[in-house]
Chains A and B, each alone.
Chain A
């Protein structure tokens, strides 16, 4: 976060919308645009000029007009609207800017505590970057339920800490560089290709026409490649609750970056969160996911969840050679043959089944638990995840997971 962009630090007096002093207005717009940019909106200097022009042309009288004029210029995508709204609220308050700042910094807020709106973290961060450090963040201490197993159904909801702009940027960057297995598969569709194996008669004819048809200028086509559909099954039971946020952000970025990504969450029941994750804004998406899922951090019923998936969804989302990412620690209390049966069916229905297991990051992990032993024979790869502190770490460990250690048979042999 660039501190020199921070209006709070530069001690500039802020001007309200109705001000006729155009010099001050221009300054405010410039700072507002910078704040928007820092919050993640693609706002260039051209947009600032446009905004000033628009304000002049529109002859802004009321606060609403002012809002919508700026909105028209700065917001180019629907999902940015919410960031703009937050930024506008904070930036152009009626009351003095400094007063507002103080009010926001007070740890004991006088007003009733409200759930933070999506995007609020990023806007706040953009506007008050320097001062933020002085504030002590209160942290919710979450019960660490890792390595515990239960099939008790606990219905509870979950609030996720919001993403910071830096986190989002790093995540996007990491996802771009992520190469999953079967990153590209050949399709039966043909596309223009310099070294293709077939002659593209249509383009050849067109090219030949250019010379009047005297000679034939051959053009070729070859097979097209595209990423296969990806289906993620994410365990959100108590033993995995620590990792839910990072995995959900990972899956959200993946949904954003690739086509055909479907995500299902399971604890004691299976929930389809495909639509929720399609929200462009990560905070919005996680809020929607959180609202859709009734069984956060409860027990695990892997077998029955897989059964529900196989029966209700497999035929709908596993067509066209989908790759399945199964993200679970595999700690199932009542591991019996149904678990192996459902894993087998899942394995047969997809192109590749990759198990991401966060337990593998602990030294000395052995495939001893019965659930893990029942599932292992039916996966193509078992990938350890070493770094779950950040998305970058997660992506990096996924990237390097495909070595000999990913072979599920090796894990089984170790304890055999």
Chain B
């Protein structure tokens, strides 16, 4: 990899989809389009969707395929500027003040200027993302933004619109090359329109059967052809059921992995019932599938697979 010049951004939507496929991320065309536009226009991308559909993965894949540094900001309640943007190194500042005192320096202006200089600044993820990088501007992942509060959202507006941060004591830090910003949300609360307005929005849904099969084969190579088809067919059928939380792609992959660990080659009602906890995480949902329901779903899946052949 040539460190000096950053890898070029994809030149078309197809190139974007291919780029993601290099890292085994199989995106559909709508996601490819939004990603291409975001990269081209230098706009943040806002990804929303159920848990386990691969939102965070997109940022990781972008960073690895483009050879950029990944800077991750995991959001949580109470996240503040000190943890997300910058903090002053207070211990070092105190020592500097003491040292100045010992030298008989009492000029307040001078002292303040010295103490609030970049030397004493601890950079947190958002500020790091604005720094220049030889491999190209980094990928900034702001994960699960719905977990933080509105106050923090408001702060992000400046970063996302102008790619700059204002530090009262120091001035404004502006990125020379804007980072590639990926924001994800599980939608446990509505993110404000003002923030969404600055981003390109994409809803990450469940994949089609065909694409999910390709994902399973790419991500869990040990699974046989027959089992992978049955796993995907069953999960797709399950998503059509009236469940409180339908299984995501992550659950499908977990399940396929678990079944291959158990040396299962084809699904039968007993195995499915025993391993249902990998797919469904709510007791009500599991209870709903008790009795003959699993068998019905399996039969339906098998007849659909036969029809497709």
Which A residues from 278 to 324 make CB contacts under 8 A with B? 310-311, 315-317, 319-320
Encode B132-164 as 1/0 by CB contact (under 8 A) with A: 000000000000001001110000000000000
Nearest residue (CB) in A for B93 is: A205
B71 within 8 A of A: no
Contacts of B277 in A (CB 8 A): none
Of B90, B111, B244, B284, the contact of A212 (CB 8 Å cutoff): B111
In contact, B78 and A209 (Cβ under 8 angstroms): no
Instruction: Annotate A196-238 by CB proximity to B: 1 below 8 A, 0 otherwise.
Output: 0000011001001110111000000000000001000000000
Determine whether the beta carbon of A214 is less than 8 Å from that of B78: no
* Distance in Å: Cβ of A261 to nearest Cβ of chain B: 12
From the candidates A189, A190, A201, A209, name the one contacting B112 in the complex (CB within 8 A): A209
How far in angstroms is the closest Cβ of chain A from B123?
16
Inter-chain contact B189/A259, CB cutoff 8 Å? no
Chain B residues lying within 8 Å of A202, measured Cβ to Cβ, are: 88, 90
Name the B residues within 8 Å of A213 (CB-CB).
97-98, 100-101, 111
Tell me if A320 and B77 are in contact (CB < 8 A): yes
Give the shortest distance, in Å, between B210 (CB) and chain A (any CB): 27
B108 at the interface (CB under 8 A from A): yes
Shortest distance in angstroms between B98's beta carbon and chain A's nearest beta carbon? 8
A319 near B189 with CB under 8 A, answer yes
Query: Which of A205, A212, A311 lies in contact with B106, CB distance below 8 A?
Result: A212
Query: In this assembly, does A195 line the interface, its C-beta being within 8 Å of a C-beta of chain B?
Result: no
Confirm or deny: B188 has a beta carbon within 8 angstroms of a beta carbon on chain A.
yes
Q: How far is the CB of B107 from chain A (nearest CB, A)?
A: 8
Q: Which residue of A lies closest to B150 (CB)?
A: A259
Name the interface size band of chain B.
20 to 34
- A56: Cβ under 8 A from any B Cβ: no
Q: Are A209 and B111 in contact (CB under 8 A)?
A: yes
Assuming A189-B149, A205-B115, A209-B108, is B90 touching A317 (CB within 8 A)?
Answer: no
Contact yes or no, A201 B149, CB < 8 A? no
**Which residue on B lies nearest to A229, using beta carbons?**
B189
Identify B151's interface contact among A189, A229, A310, CB under 8 A: A189
Docked-complex contact A190 and B80, CB < 8 angstroms = yes
A229 and B88 alpha carbons, distance in the complex (Å): 33
A201: B residues at CB distance < 8 A: 88, 90
Check if B100 sits within 8 Å of A189, measured CB to CB.
no
Residues in chain B near residue A311, CB distance under 8 A: 244
Tell me the minimal C-beta distance from B92 to chain A in angstroms: 11
Contact (A189, B189) CB under 8 Å given A201-B90, A209-B111, A311-B244: no
- Give the nearest-CB partner of A223 in chain B: B78
Query: Please, which residue of chain B has its CB at the minimum distance from the CB of A202?
Result: B88
* Shortest Cβ distance from B188 into A: residue: A319
Residues A316 and B78 in contact in the complex (CB < 8 Å), given A202-B90, A205-B88, A213-B100: no
Q: For A22, what are the chain B residues with a Cβ–Cβ distance below 8 Å?
A: none
Are A189 and B115 CB-contacts (below 8 A) given A315-B188, A316-B187?
A: no
In the complex, whether A187 has a CB less than 8 A from a CB of chain B is yes
Given contacts A187-B149, A259-B150, contact A317 B189 (CB under 8 A): yes
Besides the known contacts A189-B80, A208-B97, A316-B190, 6 further A-B residue pairs in the complex with CB atoms under 8 A apart: A189-B77, A205-B88, A214-B101, A316-B188, A320-B149, A320-B189
28 cross-chain CB contacts under 8 A:
A187-B78, A187-B149, A188-B76, A188-B78, A189-B77, A189-B78, A189-B80, A189-B151, A205-B90, A208-B97, A209-B112, A209-B115, A212-B108, A213-B97, A213-B100, A213-B101, A229-B189, A310-B244, A311-B244, A315-B187, A315-B188, A316-B189, A316-B190, A319-B146, A319-B188, A320-B77, A320-B188, A320-B189
- 10 nearest interchain CB pairs? A188-B78, A319-B188, A213-B97, A201-B90, A189-B78, A188-B77, A212-B106, A319-B189, A209-B112, A316-B187
